[in-house]
Amino acid sequence: MFSKAIVRTPAKSMTKGLSNAELGLPNHEKALNQHAECIKALKECGLDVFVMAEDERYPDSTFVEDVALLTKCCAIITNPGADSRRGETTEIKKVLVDFYRDIEEVKEPGRVDAGDIMMVGLHFYIGLSERTNENGAQQVIDYLEKFSMSGSVVKLERVLHLKNGVAYLERNNLVACDQFVSNEEFQKFNILEIDEDENYAANCIWVNDRVLIPEGYPKARKTIESAGYLVKEIDVSEFQKLDGGLSCLSLRF
């Protein structure tokens, strides 16, 4: 169970955020409203939500999930793969000292976006992507092992981050789309397959046995509900325009 979340208000500069989505520029006002809805939903799931102030210097800083991995035993500050995002780690460090005694950091030449890391109990799957390199993944694995946890790598083919394609919903249930449906390592899970035309919904989050999913993916909703979860849809269209999804908008711990 999670008890807390950290989120970061979208900056006006988000219109300059990194994107391959070709869905147009995000509308800041609309993004603020959608962000507020995310916070409301996290609170409804029983979390205390800590809101970090916006930082205009970093257009992508609302995607707070990428800059830290929060585990039961320690926090690991990442070294984001995109140069424009590297400075985002400074503020998160200041916030995490209030929540964690043990804080580790990924260092050069290691690069990691924590959107590439999926927690399954005490094991962490780490996607090797355009943002996360082998050196960074190995540093994360070493830190995890130091605290009696473990990690393993997964090679990504077509998605930006691992959690664009998979989401662990506890109770052995794994939401998966695309390459991850047949990925050997994931066959031990009960796979809840997301159809190709609803791939974006694979980026959903388990929060205390509820599942938050992006709005507008009825087949995905039905699949997840059929596995016994209470599902809430949230409109995150403005973040989708920057290749972001629901998981990237919060750190849950």
Instruction: Determine if 17 is a binding residue for ligand CIR (CB under 6 A).
Output: yes
DSSP run (H or E) holding 29: helix 28-44
Instruction: Determine if 19 is a binding residue for ligand CIR (CB under 6 A).
Output: yes
Tokens (6 digits) for 239 = 């973040």
Dihedrals phi, psi of 67, to nearest 5 degrees: -95, -5
| Site mask for ligand CIR (CB under 6 A), range 33-72, x = bound | ---------------------------x--x-xx------
Cβ–Cβ under 8 Å, residues 125 and 162: yes
Cβ–Cβ under 8 Å, residues 128 and 179: no
Cβ–Cβ under 8 Å, residues 92 and 121: no
Q: Which of 77, 81, 65 is nearest to 130 (CA)?
A: 81
Q: Which CB atom, from 17 or from 136, has the smaller least distance to ligand CIR?
A: 17
Q: Which of residues 190-229 bind ligand CIR (CB under 6 A)?
A: none
Instruction: Determine if 243 is a binding residue for ligand CIR (CB under 6 A).
Output: yes
Pairing outcome for strands 173-176 and 166-168: antiparallel
- Cα Rg, the chain, nearest whole Å: 17
Instruction: Determine if 242 is a binding residue for ligand CIR (CB under 6 A).
Output: yes
Residue 248 catalytic? yes
Q: Which of residues 156-195 bind ligand CIR (CB under 6 A)?
A: 160-161, 163-164
Residue 74 catalytic? no
Q: Which of residues 90-129 bind ligand CIR (CB under 6 A)?
A: 115
Selected catalytic residue, list 35, 161, 177, 204: 161
Catalytic residues, by residue number, are 161, 248
Binding-site ranges for ligand CIR (CB under 6 A): 17-19, 60, 63, 65-66, 82, 85, 115, 160-161, 163-164, 242-245, 248
